[in-house]
Amino acid sequence: MSKGVLVNLTKCIGCGGCTVACKMYNDNKWVDDRSPSSGENAQLADENWTVVKQFKLFKNDDTQVWRFVKHQCLHCQSPSCVSACFARAFQKTDEGAVVYFPDNCVGCRYCMIACPFKVPKFEWQTPIPVVTKCVMCYGRLKDGKSPACVSVCPEGVMKFGERESLLREAKETIANDSRYVKHIYGEEEAGGTSWIYISDVPFEKIGFNTNVVKKPLPSYTSFYMKCTPIFGAIWVIILTAFYFITKRRNTIKKQSAELSYKKTTENNSDQNQNLPENKIVDKKIE
């Protein structure tokens, strides 16, 4: 059964321990000079697979609050990056993680365009760049362990387990506590994600894309993708037909020109044979 992580944003204190664990486990560099991993300007980058963004806002009773939001790949149930990648550099696993195989990547960056959450990033700083993103610590996942970021959280912000069980827990929590927004982010967004969130402030105020459709994005293009080989074969047939038609036309044109030239030559020869000898000589002299 697919694994997942439930993130309770009301518990996060913004310590950044998850960002450190992510970098240590994946051997990523600190690039805070261009892409901070925590704070108000935190953003995902080629070396930042996990970030904690800080938000200062007001609740309904005008109480000022701070909220800290952990961002990483959401590991969609039906990932559009996998659908867009013809090289199979992105693959969805049975454990729930969407993993990346750089050796398969051709650098087209279709995955970056396809992702509704703007997660995959390109290594613009390296001579031979590839795409990078969180892979949910797949090595740990295969061994039945939680992702590194989950394992170090001191406040229990994140809970690792079976996705369906986590959904039931999230529904129970928001139903029994009036503080929470009555929505679980990731339950249905883009067909559902392995990482799901609950919050006491509206998701649109803390950096979440709330305009994502509920239907899995690959379903919009699956029919056309299935038809691609058929259309490709038809197009090859059409181009081949044009090639042979053009070739045949040029051959006929060439043969016609040769025949016309041959007839002209023969006619001139016949005319010379019918002329008196002195006329032929005169014509030659002329």
**Does residue 155 lie within any of the structural domains?**
yes
Tell me: pLDDT of 220 over 60.
no
- CB atoms under 10 Å from CB of 216, counted, come to 18
Tell me: pLDDT of 250 over 50.
yes
In terms of domains, do 27 and 147 share one? yes
**Does residue 222 lie within any of the structural domains?**
no
pLDDT level of residue 31 (50, 70, 90 thresholds): very high
Determine if the pTM surpasses 0.85: no
Q: How far is CA 113 from CA 74, 187, 211, in A?
A: 16, 22, 16
Per-residue pLDDT, 280: 45
The string over 217-245, giving b where at least 16 C-beta atoms fall within 10 Å of a residue's C-beta and e elsewhere, is: bbeeeeeeeeeeeeeeeeeeeeeeeeeee
Tokens 């023969």 appear where? Answer: 266
**Residue that terminates a domain, selected from 216, 245, 266:** 216
In terms of domains, do 143 and 233 share one? no
Per-residue pLDDT, 283: 45
Find the domain containing 263 and state its range. Answer: 227-285
The string over 165-178, giving b where at least 16 C-beta atoms fall within 10 Å of a residue's C-beta and e elsewhere, is: ebbebbeebbeeee
pLDDT in tens, 41-98: 999 999 999 999 999 998 776 788 899 999 999 999 999 999 999 999 999 999 999 9
In terms of domains, do 236 and 163 share one? no
Calculate mean pLDDT across residues 2-30.
Answer: 97
pLDDT level of residue 145 (50, 70, 90 thresholds): very high
Q: Do 168 and 45 form a contact (C-beta atoms < 8 A)?
A: no
**Does residue 221 lie within any of the structural domains?**
no
In terms of domains, do 233 and 116 share one? no
Per-residue pLDDT, 275: 54
The residue among 221 and 18 whose pLDDT is bigger is: 18
The structural domain count of the chain equals 2
pLDDT in tens, 181-214: 999 999 999 999 999 999 999 999 999 999 999 9
Closest CA to 2 of 92, 111, 115: 92
Distance CA 226, CA 220 (A): 12
**Does residue 20 lie within any of the structural domains?**
yes
Per-residue pLDDT, 64: 86
CATH number of the domain where residue 72 is located = 3.30.70.20
In terms of domains, do 249 and 186 share one? no
Token duo for residue 167:
């959904």
**Residue that terminates a domain, selected from 216, 248, 272:** 216
Question: What is the β-pairing status of strands 38-39 and 51-58?
Answer: parallel
